[in-house]
Structure 1
């Protein structure tokens, strides 16, 4: 259970970090969506390990193979199956913790829930599972592009280093101009230096990924329990190492009075309705209002650190564990395409759900 996401545009992922491979099935993708294997691969390359000095050095090509649901470059309307084979597993790096619980990992909770666990890289709990999400998200992005909806994410904070500019003040075309995926080059260099210094200290550090969805229409989101921000929150908090989600003004909004916080409605020269400000983050009453949807996701420091830590084993005995193998000193640069993919999946799902909301919008 818990391996599927979405209702109309629905994905199911499978596979483990050190198994033969990982994959995803997409059900509900409309026929006619352009499916370009090169584009999917490019998205996976943004997430894959070993891409720079500030990421894990595990060498996975993450080569995707489309198994079904695509013919002559477009989706057929039938389930789309994709698989990514593992190539660079080093399971022996985990033999020393076969019976020990690593601090802040899923070792203990998986052991208690299932009575057993795959200790090789965490098995199903590994962030490697997100490769399948990125593959599915690439197709969701293609579908959204048909409606001129764009999803962009970037690193806005690493440790104490924080971008002070809003997304409107940044040139988001510069996200891929550096290895940390921060659109401000000066701040990016400081972030890279901090992550590299953390790596050399054999420690880890956290950060924040910010995202913006532009071009989304009015009406996405379902009251009461499936509000759009709740769906986005669930999507983001399902990502490994995610510790917090906020949209619009978020927690900073509590310092404002209502008279300062409210977004006044205005009409443009064509008679369209907009809001003068966007502290709502493009969502009001759980439903998109046509403005940019923007949010932030906080990621904790990676739990595997290359130093001794006190813990216990499966028998309750005190043990000392130390990280071995290849791990990220900071996850945020690789989390950027994952955040984009999960946001795209949410928007695609609700775009399809919206088509059945009103009788005058149903066509035969």
Structure 2
């Protein structure tokens, strides 16, 4: 299977299935000398692990990471970092009835069409559980970016019809609410909406927003590997994401140029913008202002309602999905969006080291 690797200089390859022995990731290109422990990784994994709130799947996984290579005496060695996350709470019997039946809204039919078989135990490689490996790698990228003065903040912007208000924005609420909303009033309304969805055996979608500060101007490329294009690819590769916006996103399509353009001005020797409709990226290259990204997630396809479908022998049938599933994926996906953004930004920064001759001369000149 192709497509399990991401990145150019800071490159990750994930492996494992949702109901296999373990998930894991190999990170290649991490510089030597970074202080790194399993605790650094675990902090991120704990933000996405299941079974922590009433609005996440009751599947209990410790998601305890083990670093297998690439770290010696608390420092990265510059060699590949291998990490493993054992699966400890598989209940493959929950999926027995869908062995020959395609679940609506899932990748079952498409996976079978491509490979001629599928791992029906929770979706195998198509499962959202694969993102645990991405988060482990993203934790490393985030730590490197932090040392460079680049910081990421991701949160739930909306769930179903409930959106946060800028007037009530409280960063501390991101880690204190079950929805990961930085707005406690919106969290209460979203929680009530989700409770009704669960009562009706239904699910909800929503939007995750990620803000990146400290990225200097000049990161990214102007043609195929535009920074916004690479960010979009990274975030769209997360299961259940159906749209990605940068800056004002689709709202820009209904505006005039005079409304959408960000005016520049000089401030103490620096070029800044009066507004940030572009979301920190112009022509595929960062402009020095905050990068603002939004990921739109579809409702969780595993709902406990009777649905029409077919078997792999083309028999029409009905299916009632069982097992343990999230009524909404958005809160647990917040850290996934943050980590895929971090991986993309770091890789782009590393590639930028060779963009100009003076960068090389300054670095190597004795």
- Shared topology, TM-score over 0.5? yes
**Does residue 1:332 correspond to 2:308, yes or no?**
no
**Structure-to-structure mapping, 1:128-207, within 5 angstroms:** 128-165=129-166, 170-207=169-206
291, 300, 303: which is aligned to 1:302?
300
> C-alpha distance in 2, partners of 1:77/1:126?
31
Deviations 1:137-164 (A, max 9, x none): 0000000011110111100111111124
Question: Any idea what SS the aligned residue of 2:68 has?
Answer: strand
> C-alpha distance in 2, partners of 1:36/1:145?
16
* Number of equivalent positions: 361
> C-alpha distance in 2, partners of 1:220/1:8?
14
Deviations 1:267-288 (A, max 9, x none): 11x2111111100100000000
What does residue 357 of structure 1 align with?
355
TM-score by length of 1: 0.97
What does residue 48 of structure 1 align with?
49
What does residue 5 of structure 1 align with?
6
Aligned-pair distance for 1:12?
Answer: 0.2
What does residue 225 of structure 1 align with?
224
Aligned residues of 2:165 and 2:186 also touching (Cα < 8 A): no
> C-alpha distance in 2, partners of 1:238/1:307?
27
Question: Any idea what SS the aligned residue of 1:213 has?
Answer: strand
Aligned residues of 1:245 and 1:297 also touching (Cα < 8 A): yes
Deviations 1:36-86 (A, max 9, x none): 311211110110010100000000000000000111222111000000000
Aligned-pair distance for 1:298?
Answer: 0.4
Question: Any idea what SS the aligned residue of 1:296 has?
Answer: strand
Question: Any idea what SS the aligned residue of 2:354 has?
Answer: coil
What does residue 341 of structure 2 align with?
343
Deviations 1:246-291 (A, max 9, x none): 11111111222111111111111x2111111100100000000110
What does residue 88 of structure 1 align with?
89
Aligned-pair distance for 1:174?
Answer: 2.8
Aligned-pair distance for 1:15?
Answer: 0.3
**Does residue 1:75 correspond to 2:76, yes or no?**
yes
What does residue 63 of structure 1 align with?
64
Between stretches 157-166 and 216-225, larger displacement belongs to 157-166
Deviations 1:16-43 (A, max 9, x none): 0000000000001111222131121111
**Structure-to-structure mapping, 1:102-141, within 5 angstroms:** 102-141=103-142
> C-alpha distance in 2, partners of 1:89/1:200?
25
Aligned residues of 1:34 and 1:142 also touching (Cα < 8 A): no
Question: Any idea what SS the aligned residue of 1:246 has?
Answer: strand
Question: Any idea what SS the aligned residue of 1:354 has?
Answer: helix
Question: Any idea what SS the aligned residue of 2:166 has?
Answer: coil
> C-alpha distance in 2, partners of 1:304/1:344?
29
Question: Any idea what SS the aligned residue of 2:132 has?
Answer: helix
> C-alpha distance in 2, partners of 1:75/1:217?
26
Deviations 1:126-147 (A, max 9, x none): 0000000000000000000111
